[in-house]
Amino acid sequence: AAGVIQSPRHLIKEKRETATLKCYPIPRHDTVYWYQQGPGQDPQFLISFYEKMQSDKGSIPDRFSAQQFSDYHSELNMSSLELGDSALYFCASSLRQVYGYTFGSGTRLTVV
Amino acid sequence: QKEVEQNSGPLSVPEGAIASLNCTYSDRGSQSFFWYRQYSGKSPELIMFIYSNGDKEDGRFTAQLNKASQYVSLLIRDSQPSDSATYLCAVNRNYGGSQGNLIFGKGTKLSVKP
């Protein structure tokens, strides 16, 4: 079965650089979510999109932005990177959220 | 108070025993409840979801929900070393038909000793 695809799997950036993370949801899933998980922390909700429109916003810094495109893939853009942005970034998708999410494998971002 | 509370553990049980994982939530409007398993460095994997008060069983796993007490638990019977992972409780605040989002607890680390 198709899963949620995230790219890249690993990313190393320097402070103040920009990073773009990509997410391809499961076909026909209508909602995409982005989460950030620091070491030893629970996943923190960043932002979600339902049918290509932003549906909810969590603790996403102003330096970050995201969008969902016509083919339903989503991108998380992160600018002016800080050391504290180093984390695992998960994308998840769902069909009618009540059934729970399916997570992608994540992108490990390291800011040096 | 965090919206979803879990004991961080570690919870250590011998192989073959029952592991009991607990979770409380603060928002009485919460509609649905999920248990995810996460191995270190990997993505969370959905184990079970429950919406109605009572028990829901799936193989070795049983989820229990008590909305009056705002309490949800996960029982793992015949625990195996491969069950050793962090278990995340998640709650959906689905208001007015919106898609909402899941709020996660910090997770309970389970260790099953051979």
Residue-wise pLDDT tens digits, B21-39 = 999 999 888 888 999 999 9
Give A-chain residues touching B102 at CB under 8 angstroms: 33, 45, 97, 100-101
State whether residue A67 sits within 8 Å of chain B by CB. no
Interface test with A, best of B37, B74, B101 (most A CBs within 10 A): B101
What does the block give as tokens for B95? 């208001």
Radius of gyration, CA atoms only, chain B: 14
State whether residue A24 sits within 8 Å of chain B by CB. no
What does the block give as tokens for A78? 């992160």
Average pLDDT, integer, range B14-20: 97
Residues 6+ apart with CB under 8 A from A16: A80, A81
Give B-chain residues touching A101 at CB under 8 angstroms: 46, 102
For B34, name the nearest residue in chain A, comparing CA atoms only: A100
State whether residue B94 sits within 8 Å of chain A by CB. yes
State whether residue A1 sits within 8 Å of chain B by CB. no
pLDDT in the model for residue B99: 52
State whether residue A41 sits within 8 Å of chain B by CB. yes
pLDDT in the model for residue A100: 75
State pLDDT tens for residues A30-81. Answer: 889 999 999 888 889 899 998 889 988 888 999 999 999 999 999 999 999 9
Percent of chain B predicted with pLDDT > 90: 71
Q: What's at B31, amino acid-wise? A: Q
pLDDT in the model for residue A110: 97
**Closest C-alpha to B5, from B61, B66, B71:** B71
Tell me whether residues B32 and A98 touch, CB distance under 8 A. Answer: yes
3-state secondary structure B6-58: CCCCCEEEECCCCEEEEEEECCCCCCEEEEEEECCCCCCEEEEEECCCEEEEE
